[in-house]
Chains A and B, each alone.
Chain A
Amino acid sequence: MPRLSAAARHTVRFTLNGRPVSGQAAPRTLLSDFLRHEIGATGTHVGCEHGVCGACTVDVDGMLTRACMTLAVQVEGCAIRTVEGLAPASDRLSVLQAAFRRHHALQCGFCTAGILMSLDVFLKAEPDPSEEAVRDLLSGHLCRCTGYTPMVRAALEAAAELRDVQGKTAHA
């Protein structure tokens, strides 16, 4: 039974967007701070730090996770995906990201990383969601710029496009 002392920093290892990473964390270090300050992955944003705003949402082992309400030491050995892992190449956006751009589904971009992660995980489980289901999912995020409607449009269009791509792959 490992007991990690409050007074020391401890090695934490996990995979981040498919790549093994490690760093030093005190037990009280939040995953959001660990990603940003220790790993240097600043795509994940930090808003309210008590689980309300959704800006820090990441994917831990396929589970949507508020990184500000998760300790770095809790994710030892897990597979983590963040917004940095969405684009297939440095000069190309993912289908979902491109739809966000077309629909002006972001302005200041502060909330966007978390929302993209929520939608990315959600669309894998629900490839053909209703508008109501998308709105229900987005209720877990706060955005002060867009009024959410462009995001709903972008999500539904991205879902349709992803279904189309998958249909073609399946028939090829």
Chain B
Amino acid sequence: MKPAAFDYVRAESVEEALAVLKQEGSDARILAGGMSFMAMLNMRLARPKVLVDIMRVAPLARMEEETGALRIGAGVRQARLLASDGLTHAAPLIAKALPFTGHAQTRSRGTVCGSIAHADPSAELPLCLVTLKGHVHLRSAKTARKVAADDFFTGMMATAKADDEMIEAVSFPTPRGEGAAFREIARRHGDFAIVACAALVSDKGIRLGVGGVADIPVARDFPLLDGSALDDALNALAWELDARDDVHATARYRRELVRRIGRTTIEEAKRCRA
């Protein structure tokens, strides 16, 4: 459980970090808080030749409210976002989901963008990004581009980020007048979710995001249904997600959780809006 050997670069600017990525390509990886990636290194599931530490690049630690969105730089740790003033008001879904992300002992160092980059299908922050229709700001030495959350996650722990790109920031939209709720089922608090549900309810309809079932977080829009019509819609979604059996749960159990937790999460979001 020790990482294989690598060079370590302590970047002092974004440009320096990007220059290393340009030169080394897939042999280089960004190191931020390390709370997911260091475990991958220790287990030798990742064996980069160069690690680029970006946590001393001051401009990346910015967190700012833009028009209709909260932009979070690659150096912002999860604990800082969770403790930030007005999060409950600006982004209630994130305020409700973040306490489920890891533990206090990992949120203290783990970054928001790092969790997005890791792209674990059952992680909370990627699910929130997809449900809120957020964006990922990618940058390479040559170009900068903004990718919609739905296009960013391409598979289990796979993303649209190219080898010479890094996540510079992510933007979470901050819509007004929506009720938000988040629930998940895990064997123990802080474990990765077997099923996680994020719900947004507005006067236009319901949006439900589901993590832990498909190989990426998936969100769907429904009209303002209730009763058996909502049950039918959730049942269709549960089958559509193509759940698989694994050591943590059977596919059948996961589908049942989508139906039940999906429903209670939507109902909570409806109450929050009222």
- Is the beta-carbon distance between B108 and A6 smaller than 8 angstroms? no
Contact B109 A1 (CB under 8 A): no
**Across-interface contacts of A122 in B (CB, < 8 A):** 104
A73 within 8 A of B: yes
Q: Report how far A69 CA is from B42 CA in the complex, Å.
A: 8
The answer to whether B16 has its CB under 8 Å from any CB of chain A is yes
**Contact between B5 and A54 (Cβ–Cβ < 8 Å)?**
no
| Interface locus among B33-41, B145-153, B165-173 | B33-41
B189 at the interface (CB under 8 A from A): yes
B106 in complex: contacting residue of A48, A66, A136, CB < 8 Å: A66
Stretch at the interface among B7-15, B200-208, B238-246: B7-15
CB interface residues, B 1-25, toward A, < 8 Å:
1-12, 16
In the complex, are the beta carbons of B8 and A3 less than 8 A apart?
yes
**Residues 1-28 of A contacting B (Cβ, < 8 Å):** 1-7, 26-28
With both beta carbons as reference points, the residue of chain B lying nearest to A50 in the complex is identified as: B39
User: Which among B4, B8, B104, B109 is the interface contact of A4 at CB below 8 angstroms?
Assistant: B8
**CB proximity of A4 to chain B, nearest CB, Å:** 4
* Set A6, A66, A73: member contacting B105, Cβ < 8 A: A66
Decide if A49 is an interface residue (CB 8 Å cutoff). yes
Partner of A27, one of B11, B35, B51: B51
Contact with B along A41-77 (1 / 0, CB 8 A): 0000000111100100100100111101111011010
Interface Cβ pair total, 8 Å cutoff: 113
Chain B min CB distance to A65 (Å): 6
- Total interface residues on B, CB under 8 Å, equals 38
Of A50, A71, A140, which contacts B8 at CB under 8 A?
A71
Min CB distance B241 to A, Å, is 27
User: Is B103 in contact with A140, judged by CB distance below 8 angstroms?
Assistant: yes
Q: Is the CB of B106 within 8 A of A51?
A: yes
B39 adjacent to A69 (CB under 8 Å): yes
Taking a contact as CB atoms under 8 Å apart, the answer to whether A74 and B43 are in contact is: no
The answer to whether B10 and A1 have CB atoms under 8 Å apart is yes
Is A139 in contact with B103, judged by CB distance below 8 angstroms? yes
B190 within 8 A of A: yes
Bound Cα distance from A66 to B150, whole angstroms: 32
B12 touching A28, Cβ below 8 Å: no
Determine whether the beta carbon of A50 is less than 8 Å from that of B43.
yes
Contacts of B104 in A (CB 8 A): 64, 118, 122, 136-137, 140
Residues of chain B at the chain A interface (Cβ within 8 Å): 1-12, 16, 31, 34-35, 38-39, 41-43, 49, 51, 53, 55, 77, 79, 99, 102-106, 108-109, 188-190
A sample of 26 inter-chain contacts (CB < 8 A) reads A1-B12, A4-B9, A4-B10, A26-B5, A27-B7, A27-B8, A30-B2, A30-B3, A30-B42, A50-B39, A50-B42, A57-B105, A60-B109, A63-B79, A64-B108, A66-B105, A66-B106, A69-B42, A71-B34, A73-B10, A74-B31, A74-B53, A136-B99, A137-B104, A139-B190, A140-B106
